Amino acid sequence: MPRVAITGLGSLSALGNDVAAHLAGLKAGTVGIGETQGIDVSSMKTKISAQVKDFVPEAHFEPRQLGLIDRTSQFAVVVARQALNDAGPALDGVARHRAGVVFAASVGFHAVDDSYHKLYADKAPRPHPFTVPRAMPSAQVSQITMDLGIHGPAFSIASACSSASHSIGTAFHMIRSGMLDVAIAGGGESQLTYGMLKSWEALRVLSPDGCRPFSRDRNGLVIGEGAGAVVLENLDRAVARGATIHGEVIGFGMSADGMDITAPETASVAASLRFALEDAGLAPEAVDYVSAHGTATALNDKTEAAALRLVFGEHLGKLPVSSSKSQYGHTMNASGALDFVTTTLALREGFLPPTMGFNEPDPDCDLDCVPNAARDASPAIALSSSFAFGGLNAVLALKRYEG
């Protein structure tokens, strides 16, 4: 089967507004979590989040566009542009039907929140006239295709916090099968509105003081916002055109728990890890690093650690497993894309991203979680995991490009 290259990367996160800033933050152990700005959080117990800072929409979009595009879709378009720019002339000579876009589905929460405020608080006679196109879950992928002039297969995937990983995995399979030559894949998300923060707080899964994955004193996740995008390409084509190759995607595994809307299930999580290994033709012992879902909720981290133990056995004792959500928060439907970008950079640059905020070992999470500082290393094979509400699991296998 054709090999699939990663030739373009784009990111917006609490660590910075491009890939270079994201990489620098990862290596430095920067924590982009802080007190939420621009939203009245005085009535909330949780006053922290991981916000994208210094993002100026007017610097990226014409005034006529801004009324049509929510913050989530703004993020998505910007990172897709970054990724395609990084990939160089990836679309040159590609037939219209052989370049596609697969992006996470996400509601335009800012459009919804603003419209509801107008209707219910301000007693306005109508919401913004473009509320529907700004809020529709497929807005991201539509805006990307229009912005970049892409006319091939384009669609959104909705699987909560696994959406971006499912999108990248689907794009990978479409290229490996020969259906596409080039694909832009990823996801963006901004749930940082008053209504959504109150809704997440009502679930009682938010931490009031920080994200500490796998630490015994962890007490919940921290909501983040951001976006990640990658350009995937037939490897032979990428080499022929002289592209810079950041890495390879070599496997994709999926599973569904079929059990609970919020609680993960160990055997099903383990199955998705195994399926990714099988798809890549890898033995568990070949894996050098796992970018964990690692949300810092008590049950998620415990379940993920147990699943890793089932799959890797004794190898887990020497397998680094870290969660970068400790640095840039849980970006929900975008999280799989940002984690994938992070994992690609780890393989390319030769380091292990840290799990920040780690205070004390938990017997239920007996992992080498690369605590509190990045580590020099030479990982060649890695997994990037996403496990979503509703038990929708996606795991991607990546390989350092050796030529």
Give me the pLDDT at residue 403, please.
Answer: 84
Delimiting residues of CATH 3.40.47.10 domain(s) in the chain: 4-240, 251-399
CB 227 within 8 A of CB 75: yes
pLDDT tens per residue, range 103-155: 999 999 999 999 999 999 999 999 999 999 999 999 999 999 999 999 999 99
Active site residues: 161, 293, 330
CB 226 within 8 A of CB 52: yes
The two tokens of residue 375 are: 């580590």
- Rounded to 10 degrees, what is the CA torsion of 323, 289, 314, 386? 50
Residue 49 β-bridge partners: 34
Q: What is the DSSP letter of 151?
A: -
Of the pLDDT bands very low, low, confident and very high (cuts 50, 70, 90), residue 1 is confident
- β pairing state of 34-35 and 48-49: antiparallel
pLDDT tens per residue, range 168-189: 999 999 999 999 999 999 999 9
pLDDT tens per residue, range 210-253: 999 999 999 999 999 999 999 999 999 999 999 999 999 999 99
Under CATH, what is the fold of the domain 251-399?
Peroxisomal Thiolase; Chain A, domain 1 (3.40.47)
CATH number of 4-240: 3.40.47.10
